Amino acid sequence: MRWVVKFESLKMEINTPALEVHNLTASYNRKPVLWDIDFQLPQGQLIGIVGPNGSGKTTLLKSIMGLMEPDSGYVNLFGKKLDDVRERVSYVPQRESVDWDFPASVFEVVQMGRYRKSNLFRRMSTVDREITTRSLEKVNMLEYARRQISQLSGGQQQRVFIARSLAQQADIYLMDEPFVGVDAATEESILALLTEMKEQGKTVVIVHHDLQTAYEYFDWIVLLNTRLVAAGPKDEVFTSDLLQEAYGGRLTVLSRIGDLIAKKDFPLRESAFKEKEGRGDG
């Protein structure tokens, strides 16, 4: 019965955009990082926020999550203010944003996904612990539950963050670079998980810096370079004109990607990721 009701209410609001950003301008030290950003994203899609370094991708995510005060503009999630729908929104910060030497176990960190303003002073319930366990299972980290977080590899840390986010049981997930410092196999399994979430009607928004894989991974793409270049279904956004507008004159990369898209053929990224891993750990 509850499911039917839930389904009906879902149907009613299925046309509400999952995320609306209106005339958003944000700056660091008076230097604008985002300029008059305006777009809407549908529900139930896997969406990539793509743009060159320093194009304001992380700032956009932080502004959406209310972690940064924008200079102007506003953001709606499911047609409401963030405070009214907080329970439905989950945020995955960049992996590097925390100190992984913090004395905590994997389970304790993932359990934070169950923390609410309302249960801060209460013990975690059995349900909370069950959800935590299941979230760990989904990212294949259950066997590491008792391990200290400082002993994890980069890919494992990322999976812990994703599990913590899953434990929130939200409807929209905003993830900041979940594929950075992750080996190819883990990237594969994270992507499979995200696709599964999408199939369950969740909206997944991902800040992604790798243009090569963006087309392959996402249904929708937001192309950003301080200003909004384009936002829409990937085939509409991934045109050489728009890419050039976002990335400027770096044509060699762009034309290569254009060719790849034309051929619908993607090389294995093994070597590229090994390289990144090396740098990330240094």
Partner 1 sequence: MEALYIILTAFCIALSCGTLGSFLILRKMAMVGDAISHSVLPGIVIAFLISGSRNNIPMLIGAAVVGVLTTVLIELLHKKARLQEDASIGVTFTWLFAIGVILISAFTGQVDLDQECVLYGEIAYVPLDLIITESGISLGPRALWISGGMALLVLVFVRVGYKALVITTFNPDYAKALGISTLIWHFIFMGLVSLTTVISFESVGAILVVALLIAPPAAAYLLTGQLKKMLFYTSIISLLISVGGYALATWLNGSIAGAMATVAGILFAGAYAIYTLKLKGRGKPSLSKSSS
Contact 197, 173 (CB under 8 A): yes
For residue 156, which of 111, 106, 207 has the smallest C-alpha distance?
Answer: 106
Residue closer to partner 1 by CB (options 43, 157) is: 157
Amino acid identity of residue 140, one-letter, is N
Other CB atoms closer than 10 Å to residue 196's CB: what's the count? 11
The answer to whether residue 281 forms part of the interface with partner 1 (CB under 8 A) is: yes
Determine the size of the site formed for partner 1 (CB under 8 A).
Answer: 42
Contacts by residues 138-141 (CB-CB < 8 Å, ≥ 24 positions apart): 138/163, 138/166, 138/193, 139/163, 139/166, 139/189, 139/190, 139/193, 140/189, 141/106, 141/110
The answer to whether residue 153 forms part of the interface with partner 1 (CB under 8 A) is: yes
The answer to whether residue 155 forms part of the interface with partner 1 (CB under 8 A) is: yes
Residue closer to partner 1 by CB (options 146, 264) is: 146
Name which position in 89, 221, 222, 223 contacts partner 1 (CB under 8 A): 89
Q: Which stretch binds partner 1 (CB under 8 A): 152-160, 204-212, 217-225, 240-248?
A: 152-160
Name which position in 55, 154, 234, 237 contacts partner 1 (CB under 8 A): 154
Q: 129 Cβ partners below 8 Å, 6+ apart?
A: 111
| Least distance CB 83 / partner 1 (angstroms) | 7
Q: Distance (Å, rounded) from C-alpha 143 to C-alpha 24? A: 43
Q: At what angle do helices 184-199 and 154-166 cross, to 10 degrees?
A: 10
Helix (H, G, I), strand (E, B) or coil at 151: helix
Name which position in 17, 27, 104, 142 contacts partner 1 (CB under 8 A): 104
Name which position in 42, 52, 66, 232 contacts partner 1 (CB under 8 A): 66
| Least distance CB 181 / partner 1 (angstroms) | 8
Contact 43, 14 (CB under 8 A): yes
| Least distance CB 112 / partner 1 (angstroms) | 5
The site for partner 1 (CB under 8 A) is made up of: 29, 62, 65-67, 83, 86, 89-91, 93, 97-99, 101-105, 108-109, 112, 115-117, 120-121, 148, 150-156, 164, 168, 181, 183, 277, 281-282
